Amino acid sequence: MKNYIKIFSLTGKYMSTLGKTIFLFLFIFASCSKKPKLQTSMEDIGLIPIPVSVDSQPGTFEILESTPIYVNGDDELVKVANYFSETIHIISDFHLEIASSSEEIKSGVLFKISSEIKNEEGYKITASENLITLEAKDAEGAFRGVQTLLQLLSVQENADGIRLGIPAVKIEDYPQYEYRGSMLDVSRHFFSVDEVKRYIDLMASYKLNVLHLHLTDDQGWRIEIKSWPKLTKIGGSTEVDGGDGGFYTQEQYKDIVNYAAARYITIIPEIDMPGHTNAALASYPELNCDGNAPELYTGTEVGFSSLCIDKEITYKFVEDVIKELVEITPGPYIHIGGDESHSTELEDYIPFVTRVQDMVYKYGKTPIGWDEIRHAKLKKASIVQFWANKENAKAAVKQGVKVLMSPSARSYMDMKYDSITPLGLQWAGLINVKKAYNWNPATLVDSISKKDIIGVEAPLWAETIETMEDIEYMTFPRLLGYAEISWSPDSLRNWETYKLRLAKQYKDLKLKNVNLYESKMVPWEKGIKDSLE
């Protein structure tokens, strides 16, 4: 603006009145059509999980239709840049072109693999008015960084259209735990491929990297096993309260696995055994000790079923299932369940778990089991998922295995928020948003410290959960808290500041159409702060 005035007063000396009038007209036109500089502020952004370091700078990078994205790295990195570009397209309709470049870039957005970044999943963002550089150890790190960029994005809309800005900032970041997960129980109620994909997308926004699918239980068998087809034909035909149930064909399961992999999320399939097996026992009479198949089960009791430990066909069955599952599961883990086997004597349970553990290793995978599996002698690489019994978790660590933290009283997203929550259970207590956030995996169980812990997983059991809306209501906003617990350093975690950042996520969650539980503990920022005044 200042420059325009200078030019005008200089040229004025040498111009006719008509010329001056035309010039004045053009000048007013030009200055009116020039958009004001886009303003953004880190103050308006609540990054979750909070990065290791954030250094706010003056200025804003505006993303325009013409902003180029440069990639200096491999094909995987190009895919991540594409994911960024496609997400921008969904938000704004802009179509950002991607070009590869090993030259020095002065303006635009640059995705770059950097050997200086050492931590797994680590990344660094340097955003100035002209250039955003996202450097990462590898494409996976860049994908986590993209989630930060998307959270930094301020979308400002007025009558002239949409404008996108990212505040100038320097961010360095990497996770505290390698396993940051959630679990969906698709057995008690079945969820479609599209519903699982939506959950995967939501998880990815907060840098979660593992989705555990609880595929079998008393009420339903949800994964096609070609050598035992009645598992799904009979065992998959119902669910809690007698609905239609359903199952994933192996092709559909692979589709889920690939969709998750494109978001750097590993799928861990669980076959729960020897208890929680009524659906299998109802499908094949020969799996029962007395040779008689029980009825299908649509209630919510636990602990009444068991595979027949003494029959050799049980192990043929388990091995066939593991073999087929391994073929369609690229991730390193197979979950073997092992919880609440109240109808299996401990003297039977131990050899069963030991044998199944060996089978998983035989097919090149690592077993995970609920904390009761610690009764068996475990191989060092096996993982114990702590959910209820601290003594089990401690005994597991004594055996030298790592623990996955899923304490029911803190991380079970099927627990009600408060006494009037319309969905959920409360056997592990009520878990409000603060209680879900305000704990530290490394100090929760005495004698278990960070080095013993592989990570955190928040399960959603589905006895009372029937729809995607139900899933979202119970998981949002608690899931964001678990994401932060497992990603961010403890020294940066604090409920009072977290709840303010969570409040700022409101608009984004609404844009994503999430059926959010609007806890009164959070001062949600519902106003449209970003309009162009």
Between 150 and 425, whose beta carbon lies closer to ligand TNX?
Answer: 425
Q: Would you count residue 425 as binding ligand TNX (CB under 6 A)? A: yes
382's tokens: 């096996």
Compute the least distance from the CB of residue 413 to ligand TNX, in Å.
9
Residue number, 139 or 196, with CB nearest to ligand TNX: 196
CA distance 170 to 406: 33
CB of 493 to ligand TNX, least distance (A): 25
Distance separating alpha carbons of residues 123 and 117, to the nearest angstrom? 7
Q: Which of 387, 417, 439, 506 binds ligand TNX (CB under 6 A)?
A: 387
Cβ of residue 414: shortest distance to ligand TNX, in angstroms?
5
The answer to whether residue 239 forms part of the interface with ligand TNX (CB under 6 A) is: no
Distance of closest approach, residue 424 Cβ to ligand TNX, in angstroms? 8
- Position 414 contacts ligand TNX (CB under 6 A): yes
Q: What is the rounded (10 degree) CA torsion for 512, 515, 520, 521? A: -60
The encoded tokens of residue 501 equal 């950042």
Write out the two tokens for 36.
């004001």
Taking the least distance from each CB to ligand TNX, the nearer of 387 and 524 is 387
Query: Residue 191, interface with ligand TNX (CB under 6 A)?
Result: no
User: Which listed residue (138, 339, 457, 472) binds ligand TNX by CB under 6 A?
Assistant: 339
Binding mask 291-330 for ligand TNX (x = CB under 6 A): -----------x----------------------------
Residue (70 or 179) nearer to ligand TNX, CB: 179
Measuring CA to CA, how many Å separate 299 from each of 192, 243, 247? 21, 11, 19
Per residue, what are the HEC states of 390-447?
HHHHHHHHHCCCEEEECCHHHHCCCECCCCCCCCCECCCCCCCHHHHHCCCCCCCCCC
Q: Which is nearer to ligand TNX, 370 or 473 (CB)?
A: 370
Nearest-approach distance from CB 87 to ligand TNX, in angstroms: 34
Query: Does 340 sit near ligand TNX (CB under 6 A)?
Result: yes
Smallest CA-to-CA distance from 503 within 39, 40, 45 is with 45
Cα angle: 509, vertex 206, 388; to 5 degrees: 105
Task: By CB under 6 A, name the one of 206, 349, 352, 412 that touches ligand TNX.
Answer: 412
Exactly one of 340, 372, 457, 472 is catalytic; name it: 340
Which CB, 304 or 361, lies closer to ligand TNX?
Answer: 304
Active site residue 345: no
**Closest approach of ligand TNX to the CB of residue 357, in Å:** 17
| CB count in 10 Å sphere of residue 293 | 18
Decide if residue 140 touches ligand TNX (CB under 6 A).
no
Strand, coil or helix: 64: coil
Helical ranges in 242-345 per DSSP H: 250-261, 278-283, 312-327
Q: How many chain residues bind ligand TNX (CB under 6 A)?
A: 10
Site for ligand TNX in 455-494 (CB under 6 A): 461, 463
Shortest separation between residue 458's beta carbon and ligand TNX, angstroms? 12
Angle between helices 139-152 and 75-92 (to 10 degrees): 20
List 70, 333, 370, 498, residue binding ligand TNX (CB under 6 A):
370
Quote the tokens at residue 83: 């994911």
Q: Can you give the three-state secondary structure of 126-146, one letter per residue?
A: EECCCEEEEEECCHHHHHHHH
Dmax over CA atoms of the chain, in Å, equals 109
Indicate the residue among 96 and 465 with the shorter CB distance to ligand TNX.
Answer: 465
Q: What residues make contact with ligand TNX under the rule CB under 6 A? A: 302, 339-340, 370, 387, 412, 414, 425, 461, 463
Residues that are catalytic: 340
